[in-house]
A and B are shown apart, each in its own frame.
Chain A
Amino acid sequence: MARTAKTRHKVLMTAAAWLSGLLIFFPILWMLLTSFKTELRAVSTPPSFLLFHWTLENYASVLQRSAYLHYALNSVITAGGSTLIALLLGVPAAWSMAFSATARTRSILLWMLSTKMMPPVAVLVPIYLIYRDLGLLDSKAGLVLILCLGNLPLAIWMLFSYFKEIPKDILEAARVDGAGVGRELIHVLLPMALPGLASTSLLSLILAWNESFWTLNLSTSSAAPLTTFIASYSSPEGLFWAKLSAASTLAIAPILVLGWLSQRQLVRGLTFGAVK
């Protein structure tokens, strides 16, 4: 009898969990469905859920007429480039602090984190003017730089917490065997830190891909990534819901997949190791 009560409890919980999950996911699902409707169908009431004429015309038109690929490529370059540079700067820094900690390491780490707490809008004016004077407005290099600066503290923190878990004995053994610092870094540390490196890059990619303060303010067309491109649908004359949905689906799909893959490591990165 206790067993049936337990099963009933599990079924009830399952129903509640799935109901909440579907409710939360619904806006994304609705966007996906709308992307396969005709523009007319997309705005008609009562709305149709599954029984409508499915069409790919929105995807075709977004890909052909709106230079979608140009913006997607910009997203790949700026998010990818900023992640790569953040790793190139972050790995040596985190390695240095994890394995040759000094009295100041703790304050340096906290100070790095504090740069993340400066509201970006506080430096909008100087950054905008500096970028204007250096010709960096609407340039991919400018976006890579600013996105990299935003992700660097997070990357260092995350890498640091992973490096900390590598036993020091292993490094010392390598040192006794006569491996130099460079070889130590590449042959001993990197393979062990690979999972941490992977999740750090994923988080950095996700955040840079979705960053919407600097990208909206510093890019208009030639360097504009997908965030800026989607924002152009907000003008009244740009309100084609089915096409907006198709463009949005294309814009979020790759990052949604990456996010799902990295979800287990995400908490650690997002809370700076405060919750593991």
Chain B
Amino acid sequence: MSTRQTQAVARILLTPAVALLLIWMIVPLALTAYFSTLHYSLLDPVSERFIGTANFRYFLTDPAFLASLRNTLVLVGSVLGLTITLGIPLAHLLDQPVFGRSLVRLLVIAPFFVMPTVSALVWKNLLMNPVSGLFAWIATLFGAAPVDWFTSHALLAIVLIVSWQWLPFATLILLTALQSLDQEQKEAAEMDGAGPLSTFTHITLPHLARPITVVILIETIFLLTIFAEIFVTTGGGPGLETTNIAFLIYSQALIQFDVGSASAGGLVAVVIANVVAFFLLRIVGRNLEA
């Protein structure tokens, strides 16, 4: 009797959260799907009418879409590559018994807590400005010409900023995984005469396979929709050089007020994100049973 009562209470306690998330998931997405079939401009709301799949044809064949898809892939791929290849040695270093380890740890994870608008503007102005930025001064010290980052290498500049923000995340997760690696196993390998390199490739790296996968998937979900860093630095330019899919949809919606096309783009973004989400949920779900 008491269990039935408990279960009824449990269901009541669960309902508000489920209901809210259900509404949050269904209503806006259904509206996006609906808008995507309309000719609907906020500048000219009276001309609203059903046009079927025309928005999708327009969005997918727009040269801006291909450019932004390419930029999105470059951005996600480069940031993943940088944060993981730098994160592994960094985590390894922080796993050593160095002096002042907890202080170094604080320094390394700090960028993760800096709000995106601050990171982007500090990098753009204080560091990357071609005249008064610190990088320009360093370049002249070595007799090189300062790089005008946001004119000639805008996407690379964004990649560097975003990598700086996400390196702590990758490092922290890999470090946590390293710390759970059985010390005895490593010592046994060393006693059997395995050098540090072969211990790393045969014991440490396989152990890191799962955390690396988790880092890749979670970072991808966030990196697919990088927005603020582009918004405050380049506004998607020069041209379309730093426009990713998220920024393209934003500009169609709130700059060109083309609701229909932006909604079609939104659904395309959902499809791309779902592919990633599918794999992440499988990994997380497997862990849930254990």
Chain B residues with CB under 8 A of A195:
none
Does A21 interact with chain B (Cβ within 8 Å)?
A: yes
Chain B residues with CB under 8 A of A27:
111, 119, 122-123, 126-127, 164
Bound form: Cα–Cα A34–B106 in Å? 21
B228 pairs with A117, CB closer than 8 A: no
Name the residue of chain B whose CB is nearest to the CB of A184: B6
Bound form: Cα–Cα A245–B134 in Å? 14
Does B25 interact with chain A (Cβ within 8 Å)?
A: yes
A118-B270, A120-B225 as given contacts; A227 in contact with B116, CB under 8 Å:
yes
A114 pairs with B277, CB closer than 8 A: yes
Does B269 interact with chain A (Cβ within 8 Å)?
A: yes
A100 pairs with B7, CB closer than 8 A: yes
Kindly identify which residue among A20, A93, A213 contacts B18, using a CB–CB cutoff of 8 Å. A93
A sample of 24 cross-chain residue pairs with beta-carbon separation below 8 angstroms, ordered by A number, consists of A10-B96, A17-B98, A18-B104, A20-B104, A21-B107, A25-B108, A27-B111, A42-B126, A44-B132, A92-B13, A96-B9, A96-B10, A100-B10, A110-B284, A114-B277, A117-B280, A217-B250, A227-B115, A230-B115, A234-B121, A234-B233, A248-B121, A251-B118, A276-B180
Does B97 interact with chain A (Cβ within 8 Å)?
A: yes
Residue among A31, A121, A206 with max Cβ neighbours from chain B (10 Å)? A121
A106 pairs with B285, CB closer than 8 A: yes
Chain B residues with CB under 8 A of A271:
173, 214, 218
Query: For the complex, would chain A's binding face be called helix, strand, loop or mixed by DSSP majority?
Result: helix
B100 pairs with A216, CB closer than 8 A: no
**17 more CB-based (< 8 A) A-B contacts, given A14-B99, A213-B225:** A17-B104, A89-B17, A92-B13, A96-B13, A110-B288, A117-B221, A122-B29, A122-B266, A124-B253, A125-B263, A152-B20, A206-B113, A216-B227, A231-B231, A245-B126, A251-B118, A272-B284
A97 pairs with B14, CB closer than 8 A: yes
B107 pairs with A13, CB closer than 8 A: no
Name the residue of chain B whose CB is nearest to the CB of A212: B228
A119 pairs with B250, CB closer than 8 A: no
Q: Which residues from 6 to 34 on chain A have a C-beta closer than 8 Å to any C-beta of chain B?
A: 10, 13-14, 16-18, 20-22, 24-25, 27-28, 30-31, 34
B134 pairs with A30, CB closer than 8 A: yes
Q: Which residues from 243 to 290 on chain B have a C-beta closer than 8 Å to any C-beta of chain A?
A: 245-246, 249-250, 253-254, 259, 262-263, 266-267, 269-270, 272-274, 276-277, 280-281, 283-285, 287-289
Bound form: Cα–Cα A274–B7 in Å? 28
Chain A residues with CB under 8 A of B232:
230-231, 234
A123 pairs with B20, CB closer than 8 A: no
A119 pairs with B270, CB closer than 8 A: yes
Chain A residues with CB under 8 A of B46:
none
B2 pairs with A175, CB closer than 8 A: yes
Name the residue of chain B whose CB is nearest to the CB of A262: B113
Chain B residues with CB under 8 A of A274:
210, 214, 283-284, 287
Bound form: Cα–Cα A194–B173 in Å? 24
Map CB proximity to A onto B110-138 as digits: 1 under 8 Å, 0 otherwise: 11111111110111011100011010110
Chain A residues with CB under 8 A of B123:
27
Map CB proximity to B onto A49-76 as digits: 1 under 8 Å, 0 otherwise: 0000000000000000000000000000
Chain B residues with CB under 8 A of A114:
277, 281
The residues of A with any CB-CB pair to B shorter than 8 Å are 10, 13-14, 16-18, 20-22, 24-25, 27-28, 30-31, 34, 42-47, 89-90, 92-93, 95-97, 99-100, 102, 106, 108-110, 112-130, 149, 152-153, 156, 175, 181, 206, 209-210, 212-213, 216-217, 226-228, 230-231, 233-234, 239, 241, 244-245, 248, 251-252, 255-256, 258-260, 263, 266-267, 270-276
Q: Which residues from 180 to 234 on chain B have a C-beta closer than 8 Å to any C-beta of chain A?
A: 180, 210-211, 214, 218, 221, 224-225, 227-228, 231-233
Chain B residues with CB under 8 A of A112:
17-18, 21
Does B169 interact with chain A (Cβ within 8 Å)?
A: yes
Chain A residues with CB under 8 A of B180:
276
B17 pairs with A90, CB closer than 8 A: yes
Residue among A99, A125, A234 with max Cβ neighbours from chain B (10 Å)? A125
A125 pairs with B273, CB closer than 8 A: no
Residue among A34, A233, A263 with max Cβ neighbours from chain B (10 Å)? A263
A181-B9, A241-B125, A263-B172 as given contacts; A149 in contact with B24, CB under 8 Å:
yes
> What is the CB-to-nearest-CB distance from B30 to chain A, in angstroms, rounded to a whole number?
8
Chain B residues with CB under 8 A of A120:
225
Chain A residues with CB under 8 A of B10:
95-97, 99-100
Chain B residues with CB under 8 A of A175:
2
> What is the CB-to-nearest-CB distance from A129 to chain B, in angstroms, rounded to a whole number?
8
Name the residue of chain A whose CB is nearest to the CB of B146: A45
